[in-house]
Structures are given as C-alpha cells and as structure tokens.
Amino acid sequence: MKKNIFIVILLIIIIQLSAHANYDVNRPLWNEFVPYGFEDAQPDYNSYFVYGKRCKAKQNNYWYKRRQDFEREVSYCDSIPQQHRKACYEKVRARQNRINDEYKRQEAIAAEQRAASLRYIRENIEKEQQRAHELELRRQPINVQYNGTMHHDVNIYSNPFRMPYY
C-alpha cells in the first residue's frame, strides 16, 4: 500500500516537472495583448439589434478572432525547433503590439468622430431651439391701439403691369 502511494506521488511530481520543462518564458501570453474584460471573448452574432449590445458583440467578435489568430501563430512557433522559437515568439509579440497600436489609433479616431458628431448635434439643437423661439415671438399678437380715422389713397395706376380701363 505504501509502495502504491509512493508511486502515485512520484508520478505526480514527474508530471508536474515535465509540464514546467515544456514551459518557455519567452512564449507570449494572450493576456499581454487583450484589454481587460475580453480575455475569454466568445463570438456573439445574436445581439446585432440593440445598439449597445451590438457594440459589445462587435468587440467580442473582434477579440475572439484576434485570439484565434494569436493562438494559431503561437502554436506554429511551438511546432518549430527550439533554437528558432524565441525569434518566432518575438515576431508574434511585435505583430500583436502593432495590431494593438493600430486598434488604439482607430478607437481614438472613432471616439473623436463620435465627439464631433455630438458637438454638431448639440449645436444644431441649440440653433433649432433659437429658431423656434424666434418663430414663437413672431406669432404673438401685436397690440395696436387705434384712435381716429384712417384714410387710404388708392392709386389704381401704381401697378406698372396693370393697364387702365377706358
């Protein structure tokens, strides 16, 4: 019985050591590149109806695809000989950093465009409110106090296109 327990413990130690022997400190990890909250992103194709959910689904789908590409690249690096792995991992890391920089740049541009759109909408709302106020002022009745008589001299010949009747 003691012999069996000793063998099981020895096997567990060997398995743990072999798992650590295959671990490479240069191997990039997905958590180095993904923003918080999208580490385990799953594809979401059903939430394209509500705007807020659509944006979340779009981001989930983006990070899910990025993760698949990342894992494909890292598994390729794992399959090549040991002496070339470090260079391959560095290429993967550099590529992912470039993609992240481009993503951040695109997000900044999109945020600036959204802010400009909101400014434009606010300015137009203020202009429309001002126009509505001016129209409302024009619609108010004018108080006229009339004392006396009013005479009009009507000249039928004042219109140059109207011919006199003889």
Q: Give domain limits for the chain.
A: 23-138
95 token code pair: 């590529």
Half-sphere exposure of 101 toward its Cβ, with a 13 Å CA cutoff? 6
The whole-number average pLDDT for the span 156-160 is: 55
> CA 67 to CA 60: how far, in whole Å?
10
Handedness of CA 76, 79, 81, 82 (dihedral sign): positive
* Structural element, H or E, at residue 96: helix 82-139
Q: Looking at residue 140, what DSSP letter applies?
A: S
Single out the residue of 88, 86, 67 nearest to residue 76, CA to CA.
Answer: 88
pLDDT above 90 covers what percent of the chain? Answer: 32
- pLDDT tens by residue, 10-20: 667 776 655 44
Prediction pTM value: 0.58
Is the confidence at residue 66, as pLDDT, over 70? Answer: yes
33 token code pair: 């590149």
> CA 38 to CA 100: how far, in whole Å?
13
Radius of gyration of the chain (CA): 38
- pLDDT tens by residue, 109-135: 989 998 998 888 888 888 888 888 888
